[in-house]
A and B are shown apart, each in its own frame.
Chain A
Amino acid sequence: MNEIIESVKNLSIGFSSQKGKQISILRNVSTNIKKGETVGIVGESGSGKSTLALAMMGYIKQGLFPLKGECLFKSEDLLKMSSRQLEKIRGRKIAMIPQNAGQALTPNLKIGYQIDEALRLHTDLKKTERDKKISELLNKVRLPSPETMAFRYPHELSGGQQQRVAVAMALAGKPDLLLLDEPTTGLDVTTQAHVLELLRFIAKDTGTSMIYVSHDLGAIAQVSDRIVVMYAGEIVLEGPARKILKEPIHPYTYGLLKSIPKLSLDGLPASMPGSQPQPGSINEGCSFYDRCNLATDHCKKNSPDLEHIKELDTKVRCFNHKELINKNNNLQTSITKKSNNSEAIEVLKLKDVSISYAKQKFFDQLLNKISDQNPTVKDINIDIKKGETIALVGESGSGKSTILKSIAGLLKTKDGQIKFENDRILSSDLKMRNPNDLRAIQLIFQNPDESLNPNHTVEQILSQPLKLYFNLSGEELKKNIIDLLKKVRLGKFYMSRYPRQLSGGEKQRVAVARAFAAKPDIILCDEVTSALDVSVQAAVLNLLQQLKEDLGTTYVFVSHDLAVVRAISDRVAVLYQGRLCEIGPSQNVYKFPSHPYTEVLLGAVLEPDPDIKPKLVAEDIVEEKPPEKGCSFQGRCPRKIGDICNSEVPPWQIGENGNAIRCHINIEELASLQQ
Chain B
Amino acid sequence: MLLLILKRIGLGLITLFIVSLITFVGVEVLPGDACTTYLEREAYGAALDACIKRLGLDVPAYERYLDWASNVIRGDFGYSLSGEMPINEVLGPRVKNSLVLASVSILIGIPLAIVLGIITALWRDKLPDIMISTITIFSMTIPEFISATLLILIVAIWLGWLPGIVIIPSDATFYELLSNIILPVVAISMIMTAHMARMVRSSVIQVMASDYVQMAILKGVPYWKMVFKHVLPNALLPAINVVALTIAWLLGGVVVTEVVFNYPGLGRLVIESISNRDLPVVQALAIILASIYVGINLIADLMTLMLNPRLKSLQIRK
Contact = CB atoms under 8 A, between A and B. Distances in A.
A105 interface: yes
Given A105-B212, A106-B212, A155 B221 contact: no
A54 B215 CA distance: 11
A121 B221 contact: yes
Interface in A113-159: 117-118, 121-122, 153, 155-156
Nearest to B219: A91
Nearest to B308: A108
Interface string A71-91: 000000000000100111111
Interface stretch (A93-101, A348-356, A526-534, A609-617): A93-101
Given A106-B234, A108-B234, A92 B313 contact: no
A98 B215 CA distance: 7
B215 A104 contact: yes
Interface in A266-289: none
A641 interface: no
B212 A173 contact: no
Contact of B234 (A107, A121, A155): A107
A153 B309 contact: yes
A155 B218 contact: no
B84 interface: no
A109 B230 contact: yes
B179 interface: no
Given A98-B211, A104-B211, A59 B217 contact: yes
Contacts of B218: 54, 57, 59, 90-91, 95-96, 98
A62 B310 CA distance: 29
A103 interface: yes
Q: Which of A62, A89, A99, A107 has the most CB of B within 10 A?
A: A107
Contacts, number: 81
A103 B210 contact: yes
Given A57-B218, A96-B219, A118-B219, A109 B310 contact: no
A86 B226 CA distance: 14
Nearest to B237: A108
Contacts of A98: 211, 214-215, 218
Contacts of B310: 107, 153, 155
A89 B219 CA distance: 9
A83 B309 contact: no
A400 B19 CA distance: 47
A54 B234 CA distance: 25
Nearest to B223: A83
A109 to B, nearest CB: 7
Given A103-B212, A155-B310, A108 B220 contact: no
Nearest to B230: A106
Contacts of B211: 98-100, 103-104
B209 to A, nearest CB: 8
A260 interface: no
B216 interface: yes
Given A98-B211, A104-B211, A107-B234, A90 B217 contact: yes
B212 A121 contact: no
Contacts of A121: 219-222
Contacts of A95: 218-219
B86 interface: no
A88 B233 contact: no
A527 to B, nearest CB: 22
Contacts of B214: 59, 98, 104
A104 B209 CA distance: 11
Nearest to B307: A108
Contact of B313 (A96, A103, A122, A153): A153
A90 B313 contact: no
Interface of A: 54, 57, 59, 62, 83, 86-92, 95-96, 98-100, 103-109, 117-118, 121-122, 153, 155-156, 166, 169, 173
7 contacts: A57-B218, A59-B218, A87-B220, A90-B220, A96-B219, A117-B229, A122-B220
